[in-house]
Each structure stands twice: as structure tokens, then as C-alpha cells.
Structure 1
Amino acid sequence: MTQAADNPGNNTIAVAMSGGVDSSAVAALLHAQGYELVGLTLQLWNQRRLAGHEGMPESVQGRCCSIDDVYDARRVAEQIGIPYYLVNQQDRFEADVVKPFVSEYLAGRTPIPCTLCNNHLKFDQLLLTAQQIGADRIATGHYARNHYDPARGRWILSRPEDKAKDQTYFLFGLTQHQLAHTLFPLGEMQKPAVRQMASEAGLNVATKADSQEICFIPGGDYQVFLKAYLDEQGEAMPDSSGELVSTTGEVIGRHTGIHNFTVGQRKGLGLTSPNPLYVMNIHPDSHQVMVGSDADLLSRDLRADRLNWISIPELTEPIRVQAKIRHRHEPQPATLRPGPDGTAIALFDEPQRAITPGQAAIFYQGDEVVGGGWII
């Protein structure tokens, strides 16, 4: 665990408490080490807000940042004996996470709301709130590592000891300032040891299951959420119906909207074929959706924009990296070089399957995060 280099003497830390076992274990660990702690939970989304709309379930179990999670976080803070505050950021969450998610999906891209949340709220507004109450640093339950490298004069973000729980893919947007004021106490630990630590501390969440769903998307059904949200806003689902075309441009069918598709998708195409077909490309301007074989999904290059560099100040020449194109993708060797208009281009040594616009691409050298951006 690394302290911020510019203020190592401040003993007060704000713990981002999600109500799960990881952040609760962090609070117990730091409290046992003698730090002055304040527990903070961000209230991001009203889980019952769209419950009356078609297809939206009443139950919120298993979702991140639910009402039950807030209750669990408060109870853990009481168990440990630290001050606890619930910070309402629902308006900011809707503006910076939900609305961009809706816009991206309607445009035929596949966004990552958890990364947007980290960039705009959990490591932005939470740090501001912490500093307002006298805590110079925040600690989170993310599985990642950070340290200051004096030779480079930069804070470095690295993959954790427990590679199966690696969350650096969702943290590529962290700035140098945010990394300097953030602690990742679980970076050197394995998940079973974290649960054991929580159990030994007597925390009621020690055996709590990990959240599996995005907080505002029940069951992972994006289409149900889009319809319900637009209905609430008094907006109709835009007509993006169009043609299904082959890789040669032949029209082989029609679809009811590009928001129903993502690159690599096989089911729900409404086509019959002797061989499996997959979504290859989505063209928002023409509303065409191109389909092809599994082999057609393979590609050797990607272009990314809205880049954030961590281990380097900027990309000025080609470098060798391992590039990760989705959360469950194993980083693959590639050459990364500057592209036009502030973009970066990665050329993989071997073709990769279903490189998807709207997803993030993270670039590593060993365990270090070089930086990342959004695939276009």
C-alpha cells in the first residue's frame, strides 16, 4: 500500500464503501492499522425509479450500489466504529454515465458504464468530497496496485497480485492526481484471503456474493432499460431500422433497430443460414448491420481516441505493448503507435476476435498500465 508522495503525513483516509466484502475489508484493515477513517458511499441511482415500466423487475438483488448495499456499508461502518456519510450523486451519475450510455447504445456502439462511473464519480467526486471533510486520500476495494516512480516522475498503475480479480481495465482513466491520492490496499492480496480477513474482523458481509450486474440495468437487458428510460423521459425509441447485409454488401434481411446489436453477436439476428452468422459492423448513418462468419470477426488492428496515458506522458513513437480489448480478454502482443487527430493505433501480432467500437482498449507493458482509450 502506497501513500501519496505529496502529503504522506495526513492520517485521515476516506474509504469508498460499496457495501461489498472488498471495500468493507479495506475499512477493517486500515482501521486496524491505526488510520483515521471516514466511510463514504455514493448514492448513484434510484433502483426503484423505472420499476413500473414494462420489463423492469421489482427486485434489485445482485446489482451494484443497491439499497441493500448502502445498508450493509452503513452497518460495517458502525461495526468498525467510524463516521459514515451517504453522498448523493444521482444527478451527476445520470448526466455523466446514464445519458452517455444511452446515446452510445442508440448509435450502435457498446459502452462500458462502470469505466465512466470510475472516471467521473468514484475517483473524481469522491476525492473532492473526501478532501472537503479533511481526508487527503481515498481507499477503495479495487484489485489494482499503484506506486510512485521517481525515475519517471509518474504514478504507475499495475495489475494486482490476484490476476483473476484484476480491475485495471476499468481504471485506465485515472489521472496522475487521482492515482497520487488513492490507495488500493487489496492489490497484494488474493480474494480468499480478503474474505478470511473480513470474517476474522467479524464483518457481516464476509460471505456476501459479489455484485454481478450494472446498477441501472436489471438482468443485463440493455434493450429493456433503453425502452423504459426513454419512455420515462417522454421520448420515443428512435427508428434505426434498416438492412442486414453480408460482407459483400448483399441485402439478406432487415432489422428493427441498430440498438439491438453488438459486434460479435450471434443470437437474435432473425436470419437462417447453414453456417452461424455474427454481427461484423454496425453503421449508424445508414442503419446497416453487416453480418459474416466467425472468421470474418478476426481483425489485427484497432483505433482508439479519448486517450489517457499513465506510465508515459504521451505516445510519440511506436512501442510494444499487450493490448486488452474487453474485460475478459487476455492482453495480446501488439505494436502501438500514434494515429491521426490524437488517436492511437494498435496492430496485433495475431488477429483478435470482435474488436468492438465503444469498448475500452487498455495497453500494458508487463503488469504496468501504459494507458488506454475508447475503440472507434
Structure 2
Amino acid sequence: MRKHKSQTNPLNFNDTDSHIRFSRTATSDQIRQLYPHKPKANETVAVAVSGGVDSMVTTLLLKEYVHKVLALHMILRPEDSPEPGEHIVQLADRLNVPLHVVDLRRPFRQQVIRPFLEAYRRGKTPNPCVICNPSIKFTLLQEEAVKLGATTLATGHYVRLLRDESDGSLRLFRGRDRRKDQSYFLYRLGQEQLARTFFPLGNYLKSEVRKLATDAGMKEHYRPESQEICFISDKDYRAFLEEHLGSDLPGPGPVVDLKGQKLGEHEGIHRYTIGQRRGLGIPSSAPYYVIGLEPDTNTIRVGRESDLRRREMLVTDVNWIATSPPTSELQVLVQIRSRHRESPALLKPTAGGTLVSFLEPQKAITPGQSAVFYSEDEVLGGGFIEQVLS
């Protein structure tokens, strides 16, 4: 970890002050409601900064309420330089906060990229953000924040964190902006991690956050959002897999229907995912969809769109945020993809994991993705989809 010295006057701004003066947009009561601990006058908070509008506005808000704010910028991709980009340096200088660069390339490769590659090799479709958040950002980056004297790590996630006064536990909720809600990606966090975390944007809409940036004169100084996997720069995950796995990837194999009849050949299981329609190369009057990937036999099983709808799945490696695992059946709402609308389901603990039975069949349940359990807007926990049963 290195502290980066701010440059002087790196950008030409119209205002007379060399640093931002930010008008207060939330009350102290709102901050205390969101924050699990009341802010203290001498408190130091670290902000995970990426160069985007969310972490930038998070920093601006915190500068109004805490004594000292630090900016932490992670270096994650193996091909990246250990030095921060000019944009990050200029942004930190403009925000008037000390910038600390944290090189996490080695643990990121070991704990995020390698499991990502292995999951695809086994015919699953992983979500690396679900792994990165608890293992990298809210563990290793939090540890670096503590070393710098910070009591809390703040991020720009659109989620809310509230304390249950009855037992003192911290409860994670969806953000006010349902379109930008990121609670799906944080279900693996634990009480110890949440106790050192602050989510200032939980009660804001994305449009309000952009307006705050504009009002602060920062509209032109943050990077656009990216919806892609952060460590695959060219957006071609198939090429990334082939580059890193090479001969470990199975080659072409059979494409069969639900009765086992061979319909064609695929180009490698890693090139397909559940629900995929394009690229199958099967002539038919009605489209086929990928129904299942069978790595043991290097087979892709296809069917019609109606065959994609399933009712039961097995979920493993379940994390419960604030409660003990249920010992009997429990009805919850379950979200099976980041863009999926949650649906009512019944959870049943079994020796092999948690059996999830939806009240209505769900389309394209995908092994490797996460199933996140909700009670209304509260995130109860979740786990990994291991197997689609029926």
C-alpha cells in the first residue's frame, strides 16, 4: 500500500476555491439512521474509490460529517500497473482527500479469478462480484483501512444498513433505488464486516446522486459505469477463458435434446450458459435453448423455451447475515440473478444443502449463480445454486 501525493492545481475549474465546497443534502439524523455507530468528531473513515460517480459522491457526503476522510483505490487486474491512473489522482486532489493505493492483484487472482475459471471449467456460470466483495473489498481493503487509522470503510453501494435494537445485530436492506439496488452482491457479508462498513447512498436515488455531483461541479470528472466483468477488459469472457485455461477446457461435444437424441455439435461447454439461444447451430422451425450443461460427458442438453422453467433447486454454502440457519421450512423471497425479480419460495434444510421450492416455476435457473433470500426488502442471506432439480 502506498500513499499518493496530490498534485497541485491539476485541473482548471471555474470556481474560485481550489477544492469542493459541498452543500449539505442529508440531515444528521438521516446519517445516524444509516450508520450503525453514531459519528464522532474525531472519526476517520476510508472510502473505496473507483473513479465513478457513486464513490465520488460518497466521499463528498462523508466530508460533511466526519473529521477525516481517506480515499482507498484498489489495483486488482493482473495486467494493471501498481500506480494509480491519472484520473484517480486528479479526482482525489479535487476532492481534497489523501489517496492510498492498495495493490491486491495477487489475492484477487487467487480468490476471485481462479474460482471464476474453475467454475466455468466445471460447466457453471459464476458471478465474480459475489466472491470479490466479502473476500477482497470487505476483508482485505477493510484491513488496510484499519491500518491507516480508519474505523469504517464506506462504499458507494446502493444498500441500507440498520441496527436491530432488540438484539444489536446489523441488518442489510435493499437500497431505496430499486433499479440500482446492489444487495444481491453483498449477501455473503457477515456481522464483523458490516460493523466496519458504511453505505451513505442507501437512501438516495441514482438521479439524486448524479445531481449532487453536478451541483458540486464534478459532472465531467467521473468515469461512466461499467456493467462488464472488471478483469475482462475486452468484454470477451470466452477468449479470456481460452487464454487462461487452454487445454484444460473440453473441446467440441454433442448437443442432445431432452430425450438424448443428438442434434448437433457444440464448440465447448464454456461458450454456453443456461437459457442461451444463439450460437447453437441447430436448424429448426422453433428455437432451441440451452437447458443443461453436463461437463462429465461434455454434453449440452437443449429444449424449447417452456423447458427452461423449473421449480426446485439445491443451494449450497449458504450464508445467513443476522440470523441462525433455519431448522425447519421457511418461506422467503428468492432472487436467482442480479436482474431477476425475486419470487416466493419455500426453503427446506437438507443434509446436502438448502432445497428451494418456488411457488411458481422460474426461467433459466443457472448453476453457479447465487440465490439470495429476502424478507420483503431485508437480505436474509443466500448461497450458490448447485443443481436444478425439477
Q: Which residue of the partner structure matches residue 366 of structure 1?
A: 376
User: Hey, what does 1:73 align to over in structure 2?
Assistant: 88
Matched to 1:298, the amino acid is R
Output the CA distance in 2 between the equivalents of 1:205 and 1:36. 25
2:42–2:68 CA contact under 8 A, matched in 1:
no
Which amino acid is 1:115 matched to? Answer: V
Paired position in structure 1 for 2:357? 347
Q: Residue type matched to 1:35 in 2?
A: H
Structure 2 letter corresponding to 1:226: L
CA contact (8 A) 2:159 2:172 kept: yes
1:145 and 2:177 matched: no
Q: Do structure 1's residue 84 and structure 2's residue 99 form an aligned pair?
A: yes
Q: Distance in 1 between matches of 2:40 and 2:383?
A: 31
Q: Which range moves more in the overlay, 264-273 or 354-363? A: 264-273
Inter-partner Cα distance in structure 1 for 2:253 and 2:114: 24
What letter is aligned with 1:303? L
Alignment of 1:173-252 (within 5 A): 173-203=188-218, 205=220, 208-230=223-245, 235-252=246-263
Verify the 8 A CA contact 2:242 2:249 in the aligned structure 1. no
**For residues 42 and 36 of structure 2, what CA distance do their matches in structure 1 show?**
9
Asked if 1 retains the 8 angstrom alpha-carbon contact of 2:171 and 2:379, the reply is: yes
Matched, 1:291 2:323: no
**Percent identity over paired residues:** 40
Q: Where does structure 2 lack aligned partners over 5 or more consecutive residues?
A: 1-30
Q: Secondary structure in 1 aligned to 2:276?
A: coil
Once the two structures are superposed, residues 263-320 of structure 1 have per-residue CA deviations (whole angstroms, 9 ceiling, x without a partner) of 1111111211111100001111111110000000000112111111014221222111
1:218 to partner: Cα distance: 3.4
For each residue in 1:63-106, what CA deviation from the matched residue of structure 2 results, as whole angstroms up to 9, or x when unmatched? xxx99x84333322211211111100000111111111111111
Q: Which of 38, 61, 76 in structure 1 is aligned with 2:70?
A: 38
Query: For 2:41 and 2:369, how far apart are their aligned partners in 1?
Result: 39
1:163 aligns with 2:178: yes
Measure the CA separation in 2 of the matches of 1:95 and 1:238: 19
Pair 1:284–1:9, CA change in 2 (3 A): farther
SS at structure 2 position matched to 1:315: coil
* Cα distance change, pair 71–172 in 1 and its aligned pair in 2 (3 A): farther
> Are 1:323 and 2:334 an aligned pair?
yes
Alpha-carbon offset, residue 7 of structure 1: 9.2
1:357 aligns with 2:353: no
Q: Which moved more, 1:75-84 or 1:13-22?
A: 75-84
Query: Cα offset for 1:205?
Result: 4.9
- Aligned amino acid, residue 99 of structure 1: R
Specify the structure having the higher radius of gyration (Cα).
2
In structure 1, C-alpha distance between the alignment counterparts of 2:151 and 2:79, rounded to whole Å: 31
- CA contact 1:247–1:292 (8 Å) conserved in 2: yes
Contact 2:133–2:186 (CA under 8 A) maintained in structure 1: yes
Which residue, out of 115, 118, 124, partners 1:100? Answer: 115
Kindly provide the amino acid, as one letter, of the partner of residue 374 in structure 2: Y
Letter in 1 for 2:143: L
| Secondary structure of 2:279 counterpart | coil
Task: Find 1:333's aligned residue among 344, 347, 363.
Answer: 344
Equivalent residue, structure 1, for 2:46: 14
TM-score (norm 2): 0.86
Determine helix, strand or coil for the equivalent of 1:244.
strand
SS at match of 2:179: helix
Residues of 1 paired with 2:336 and 2:181: CA distance?
A: 14
Residue 72 of structure 1 contacts residue 205 of structure 1 at CA under 8 Å; is this kept in 2?
no
Q: What is the match of residue 26 of structure 1?
A: 58
Kindly indicate whether the alpha-carbon contact (under 8 Å) linking 2:36 and 2:170 is maintained by their aligned counterparts in 1.
no
| CA root-mean-square deviation | 2.1
TM-aligned CA deviation for residue 226 of structure 1:
1.2
- Alpha-carbon distance in structure 2 between the residues aligned to 1:100 and 1:288: 22
192-201 or 35-44: which moved more?
192-201
CA displacement at 1:243 relative to structure 2? 1.5
Superposition deviation, residue 8 in structure 1: 6.4
1:129 to 140, 144, 149: 144
Unaligned runs of 5+ in 1: 50-65
TM-score (norm 1): 0.89
Amino acid in structure 2 at the alignment position of 1:326: R
- Whether the 8 Å CA contact 1:19–1:71 is kept in 2: the answer is no
